[in-house]
Structures are given as C-alpha cells and as structure tokens.
C-alpha cells in the first residue's frame, strides 16, 4: 500500500448561498482545490452527496459535476452514506491512490439544502433513518439524537450545561473561521434558553441547514513532493457500520460504528487515541460530540461531558475538538461535511488555519470522525504532518 497524501483543498461559499446552484457550489470548491494543489490534471473523482435527489431532484451527479468542472470524460463516482458521504469519498480516493490505480484523485462533497423548504429538508435528512420503522412513526433527526441524549443523561448524569458547553465552545471556535456559516459566539444561557426542538435538544444544540461544497486533492507522496505545496499524509482510514435503527442497538449511549471506524484507523496507522493531538468530530447535535468523544476511546463512557465542561477540548485544552467550529457553527452541508473536516485537519497540520484558531501546540497528528444518520455509519481518518 502506497503512502497517500492530501495536497490541496477548496471550500465553496458556505451558508444559505441563494445565488449559487448545486453545480456552482461544487465547481467552485473543485477549482479551488485544483488551484491550491497546483495539479494539471486529475485521474478520477469521488463526490460525496447524501441526497441530490431529494434536495435538488438531481441524481447522476458525478458525470454532471465532472462536466461542469471542465473535465468531461474523467472517471467519476458518487459516494453515499448519508451525512458520512464526504468522509466516504475521501476513503474511496484514499484506496484508489493507495492501491496504485491512480496518482491524483479528487475527493469532494456537496449538498445544496436550501432549494427546498424546511419540511422537505427535514424529510430528506430523515431518509438516513429507518424509513419503515422510525420515519413512519414521525421520527426526525433532532428527535433521534434527543432520544440518545435522554438515555445518556439518565445513564451517566450528563447535564444541560455539558450539552450547552459543546455549542458555546464550537461557536467560539467558529467565530475565528472565515468560512463558518454562523461565526457568532453564544453563551451557556443563550443555548439553554433557545427554543426547544426535541427534548432535551434546543435549536442551539443543533447544526444548521447549509449549502456548501468541499474538495481535496488526494495523491501519492511522489506527486505531493513534486508539487512543492504543503501536504499531509493520511496514515489511517477506517469505516464502521451498525444498524440504522436506534431501537435495535444494544446501547444507544454509545455509537458503535464510530468505535469500529476509529479502531480500524488506529490499527492501520499504528497509533492510539493518545497519539492524536486534536480531532474534528461529527457534532450534528451537541450530544453527538459528547458520545463520539467517548466512542472513539478518548474518554470513558460518561466522562466526555465533564471533560468538555472543564475546557479540555477547547483550542487551549489538552484535546481540542472541532477547531473549525464544527458542524454546529461552521455549518453542515451534509454531503460536504466529511471533506470539510479533512480540510480543517489539513489546515491545522500545515499551519494554515485562519486567525486565532490555529493551534499553538504545533500538532503533529489530527483525526476526523464523520457520521451517517444516527450512527449507522462512521468513517475516521488520521492524518500526520509530512
């Protein structure tokens, strides 16, 4: 297996991008990634997208997006694993380069979520849950995570303050990120007093609806070196799956798919969680960040909430989580999120994170954890400075 690197990255405008279409968003991110890497061609493309069909009525995305990038004829594949689609695209590109089939592959992700109304967006997102036995009964995504939150609170004494702190911290980080959709700070009180969406989750516990695309250039180390641009190595990649139906899980206070994905990535990289300097995790809801911090093995079950409350995961803490602002503040265009997480780790490891959010500790190893649905799938990548 060859060493695989990431050499260039690009983000489209993020937020409620009324003036740009699905294809515009992707094209802009893709061209930025190509420009930043300085590559003169691609060997193939993997694009992650959760639901082009429901959000913009468009499937058959890979060919369409390749055409609009000015690369008709390029081998291109769309990858889908709900909100983990972007991370899965990275994984696919990683495998293609590691195997020697290709030298330069683009991994991208895109979602245009505001071309439908809130109800339709809720419906589209809910297709990541079990349609016949969860959505049928009126399940929404905040609802499913809220049920995990209640269970976690009952089992471990996780508190409202711990949930709020995730939001406060991520918005603080996001306030330093020029790409963030909601770069404002929030207080513990604001979170706790924001409107209730699904008990116990308030609106400020939830990630937003976002338009956006992200792209990275995944290449062999030979290519990365020849380009003369900052690059990082992907040293571990892992996927985990689980039943997508919450009621069928043994324990809904942990996300087994994330544990499986992290363990697979640790095994490939020869690293352990203790070697990881910082992490971007899938905080689609505040409770998700708490559960994931435990599921990837950083904290014992029930210990992540108190640690987050104590400030261990802030920019200055011993284990910074979501330096980008996370899904909460930076935004969550579902198919693009997994790729954007990798971009944040790339920026931190190459010293390119904007403003005050660049970690002062000169991190060497960073990790991303991207998740589909209520934890039915997860993909983890570990990256190391070159």
Of positions 246, 315, 380, 382, contacts another protein by CB under 8 A: 246
What does the alpha-carbon distance between residue 193 and residue 202 come to, in Å, rounded to a whole number?
8
Burial of 251 (0-12, 13-18, 19+ CB in 10 A): exposed
Nearer to another protein, 68 or 123 (CB): 123
- Specify the length of the chain in residues: 386
Tell the smallest beta-carbon distance from residue 126 to another protein (Å). 8
Contact between 140 and another protein (CB under 8 A)?
yes
User: Could you tell me if 3 and 220 are in contact, meaning their C-beta atoms sit under 8 angstroms apart?
Assistant: yes
Beta strands 104-111 and 212-220: pairing type?
Answer: antiparallel
Q: Which of 230, 172, 226 is nearest to 204 (CA)?
A: 172
Q: Which of 26, 152, 171, 332 is catalytic?
A: 332
Tell the smallest beta-carbon distance from residue 160 to another protein (Å). 15
* Other CB atoms within 10 Å distance of the CB of residue 68: 16
Tell the smallest beta-carbon distance from residue 247 to another protein (Å). 4
Contact between 30 and another protein (CB under 8 A)?
no
Tell the smallest beta-carbon distance from residue 245 to another protein (Å). 7
Nearer to another protein, 169 or 249 (CB): 249
Tell the smallest beta-carbon distance from residue 132 to another protein (Å). 6
Residue with tokens 């579902």, as numbered in its chain: 334
Tell the smallest beta-carbon distance from residue 216 to another protein (Å). 34
Using the rule CB under 8 A, give the single segment among 86-94, 139-147, 259-267, 324-332 that binds another protein. Answer: 139-147
Of positions 57, 247, 351, 364, contacts another protein by CB under 8 A: 247
Nearer to another protein, 84 or 246 (CB): 246
- Restricted to residues 190-219, the positions that interact with another protein (CB under 8 A) are 195-201
Alpha-carbon torsion (287, 290, 295, 300), positive or negative: negative
Contact between 132 and another protein (CB under 8 A)?
yes
Of positions 96, 103, 134, 283, contacts another protein by CB under 8 A: 134
Nearer to another protein, 77 or 243 (CB): 243
* Other CB atoms within 10 Å distance of the CB of residue 152: 25
Is 332 labeled as catalytic in the residue annotation?
A: yes
Contact between 157 and another protein (CB under 8 A)?
no
Start-to-end CA distance of the chain, whole Å, equals: 17
What does the alpha-carbon distance between residue 118 and residue 349 come to, in Å, rounded to a whole number?
37
Contact residues for 265 (Cβ-Cβ < 8 A; gap 6+): 236, 237, 238, 367, 380, 381, 382
Contact between 16 and another protein (CB under 8 A)?
no
Q: Which of 5, 26, 49, 83 is catalytic?
A: 83
Of positions 11, 34, 37, 148, contacts another protein by CB under 8 A: 148
Tell the smallest beta-carbon distance from residue 66 to another protein (Å). 30
Contact between 122 and another protein (CB under 8 A)?
yes
Q: Which of 270, 264, 269 is nearest to 234 (CA)?
A: 269
Q: Which residues bind another protein (CB under 8 A)?
A: 119, 122-123, 130, 132-134, 136-140, 142-144, 146-151, 154, 195-201, 243, 245-248, 252
Q: List the catalytic residues.
A: 83, 332
């Amino acid at each position: 297996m060859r060493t695989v690197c990431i050499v260039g990255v690009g983000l489209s405008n993020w937020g409620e991008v009324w003036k740009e279409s699905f294809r515009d968003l992707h094209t802009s991110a893709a061209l930025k990634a190509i420009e930043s890497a300085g590559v003169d061609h691609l060997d193939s493309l993997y694009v992650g997208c959760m639901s082009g069909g429901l959000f913009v009525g468009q499937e058959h995305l890979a060919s369409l997006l390749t055409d609009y990038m000015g690369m008709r004829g390029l081998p291109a594949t769309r990858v889908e694993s709900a909100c983990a689609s972007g991370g899965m695209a990275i994984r696919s590109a990683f495998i293609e380069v590691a195997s020697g089939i290709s030298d330069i592959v683009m991994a991208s992700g895109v979602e245009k979520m505001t071309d439908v109304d809130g109800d339709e967006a809720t419906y589209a997102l809910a297709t990541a849950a079990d349609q016949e036995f969860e959505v049928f009964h009126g399940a929404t995504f905040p609802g499913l995570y809220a049920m995990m939150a209640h269970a976690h609170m009952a089992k471990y004494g996780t508190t409202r303050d711990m949930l709020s702190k995730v939001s406060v911290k991520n918005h603080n980080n996001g306030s330093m990120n020029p790409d963030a959709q909601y770069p404002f700070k929030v207080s513990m009180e604001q979170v706790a007093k924001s409107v209730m969406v699904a008990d116990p989750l308030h609106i400020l516990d939830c990630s937003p609806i976002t338009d956006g695309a992200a792209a990275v250039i995944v290449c062999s180390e030979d290519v990365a070196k020849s380009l003369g641009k900052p690059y990082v190595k992907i040293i571990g990649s892992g996927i985990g799956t689980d039943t997508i139906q919450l009621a069928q899980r043994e324990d809904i206070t942990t996300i087994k798919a994330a544990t499986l994905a992290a363990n697979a990535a640790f095994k490939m990289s020869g690293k352990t969680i203790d070697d990881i300097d910082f992490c971007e995790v899938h905080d689609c809801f505040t409770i998700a960040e708490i559960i994931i911090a435990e599921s990837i093995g950083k904290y014992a079950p029930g210990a992540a909430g108190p640690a987050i409350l104590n400030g261990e995961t802030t920019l200055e803490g011993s284990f910074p989580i979501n330096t980008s602002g996370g899904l909460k503040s930076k935004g969550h265009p579902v198919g693009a999120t997994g790729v954007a997480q990798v971009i944040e780790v790339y920026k931190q490891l190459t010293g390119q994170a904007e403003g005050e959010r660049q970690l002062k500790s000169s991190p060497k190893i960073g990790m991303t954890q991207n998740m589909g649905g209520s934890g039915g799938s997860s993909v983890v990548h570990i990256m190391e400075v070159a």
